[in-house]
Structure 1
Amino acid sequence: MIRIIGGKFKNRRLKMVRSPEVRPLPAKLRGSLFNILKDRIKDAFFLDGFAGTGSVGLEALSRGASRVVFIEELPLAAKIIRENISKCGAEEQSLVLNQEFNRAVIGLSRKGVKFDLIFLDPPYKLLGERNPLKVIRKRRILDPDGLLIIRHHRHYVPSRSDFKLIRQVDFGDDLFSFYSGEIIEETANNHRE
């Protein structure tokens, strides 16, 4: 069982997704993430990408985010996210997109959506195949003053050619990489990955 660890939904129990494809963010890492974000959460428009159980997005709502969009491709996980949202009474502040990540981002960009905070926790295998930062950059769904955080394995080096890397936090095999919303423009000397 997963619990919300801070804010108005503190100690609310969330359902877990029983699938090897879902890797919930441990409470220790979730707590560290939100301690780093602190005041940036209040009134933020938050994207929880590769949302799994929805615990990160619900933690954001619990701590004062105004609205959260959850993107999750697995139908079972999307169903559990909706149930967890309902347990918290956060239906009015939440949108669950049960779609492949790139397709969901394209749809959001067509509606002119811009996020203050984006958190991505993609399957490590996916990061070796394609870079989710590229579609976010191309579709410009992160506000220029926003922040993008990606959880990844220490052996994967996220792109440094899409957004400006401003911080990395090490948790053993896991790292959080923090990027500013400032897009790195392509030049003749700046190759795309």
Structure 2
Amino acid sequence: MRVISGDWKGLRLKAVPGSSTRPTTDKVKESIFNMIGPYFEGGIGLDLFAGSGGLGLEALSRGFEKMIFVDRDTYAFQTIKDNVKTCKAEDLVELYKIDAERALKAIVKREVTFDGIFLDPPYKKQQLISLLEKIDHHTLVNESGFVMCEHHSDVELPQQVGNLVCIRKETYGIISISIYRNRDEEEAQ
């Protein structure tokens, strides 16, 4: 696993030890960033089920200016810390060892919005529709921002959740990627 492009291109990242966390493959990660970027001029991101931190670090490498990483797993949390250190990105990140529901409640209280939100929850505990509803209800994604959902290809996500519209869906074997943007932004394009 490595950073694909940007400032940290080629840096090797650690994977979370054990089999409880499934890392996004480099091929799928490249496809995700081709759909949402591929590069950015600033922005704040949220990597809600961060695992190794690979998606959030890729976004930082490609131009995001800040990333909040959230994962409740002790091994994942330590792996994110190690990978952030490898990228020398300590000043660009906030790390939280907390579950996604509590993290979203804390974020709502901070009144922060994001240019990009990465959702890659464990496939066996899919809660993407509920998360999308909360993101929409609290307007956590900026007008021109995106929400990226990685899910099992058997999972069919709705075309629209509140003001969030699925603008693109791609499948790679058993993995599907669904990209959501605000409806108003889509109508303006």
Normalising by structure 2, report the TM-score. 0.89
- 2:177 matches 1:176: yes
Q: Which amino acid aligns with 1:23?
A: R
CA offsets 1:88-137 (integer angstroms, 9 cap, x no match): 11011101111100110110110111001111111111116973212222
- Following the alignment from structure 1 to structure 2, what is the Cα–Cα distance between the partners of residues 49 and 144? 19
Is the Cα–Cα contact under 8 Å of residues 105 and 139 in structure 1 kept in the other structure? no
Q: Which amino acid aligns with 1:43?
A: G
Measure how far apart 1:181 and its partner are.
2.7
Is the Cα–Cα contact under 8 Å of residues 67 and 94 in structure 1 kept in the other structure? yes
Call closer, same or farther: CA 1:40–1:142 in 2, change over 3 Å.
farther
Q: Which amino acid aligns with 1:164?
A: V
Measure how far apart 1:30 and its partner are.
0.5
CA offsets 1:118-164 (integer angstroms, 9 cap, x no match): 11111111116973212222332111221111011121122433321
The aligned counterpart of 1:3 is 2
The aligned counterpart of 2:151 is 152
Q: Which amino acid aligns with 1:169?
A: E
Which ranges of structure 1 fall in alignment gaps of 5 or more residues? 184-193
- Following the alignment from structure 2 to structure 1, what is the Cα–Cα distance between the partners of residues 161 and 11? 39
- 2:65 matches 1:57: no
Q: Which amino acid aligns with 1:161?
A: V
- Following the alignment from structure 2 to structure 1, what is the Cα–Cα distance between the partners of residues 131 and 11? 30
- Following the alignment from structure 2 to structure 1, what is the Cα–Cα distance between the partners of residues 128 and 136? 17
- Following the alignment from structure 1 to structure 2, what is the Cα–Cα distance between the partners of residues 41 and 126? 31
The aligned counterpart of 1:112 is 111
CA offsets 1:62-90 (integer angstroms, 9 cap, x no match): 11111111111112111110111011110
Call closer, same or farther: CA 1:63–1:40 in 2, change over 3 Å.
closer
Aligned length: 182
The aligned counterpart of 1:161 is 161
Normalising by structure 1, report the TM-score. 0.87
Q: Which amino acid aligns with 1:151?
A: E
Measure how far apart 1:40 and its partner are.
5.7
Measure how far apart 1:170 and its partner are.
1.7
- Following the alignment from structure 1 to structure 2, what is the Cα–Cα distance between the partners of residues 100 and 128? 12
Which ranges of structure 2 fall in alignment gaps of 5 or more residues? 185-189
Report SS of the residue matched to 1:57.
Answer: helix
Call closer, same or farther: CA 1:137–1:128 in 2, change over 3 Å.
closer
Which residues in structure 2 correspond to 1:7-86 (within 5 Å)? 7-38=6-37, 41-86=40-85
Is the Cα–Cα contact under 8 Å of residues 38 and 62 in structure 2 kept in the other structure? no
- Following the alignment from structure 1 to structure 2, what is the Cα–Cα distance between the partners of residues 144 and 129? 20
Report SS of the residue matched to 2:161.
Answer: coil
CA offsets 1:25-67 (integer angstroms, 9 cap, x no match): 0000001111222256321211112110001111111111111
Is the Cα–Cα contact under 8 Å of residues 105 and 141 in structure 1 kept in the other structure? no
Q: Percent identity?
A: 32
Superposed structure 1 runs of 4+ greater than 4 Å apart? none
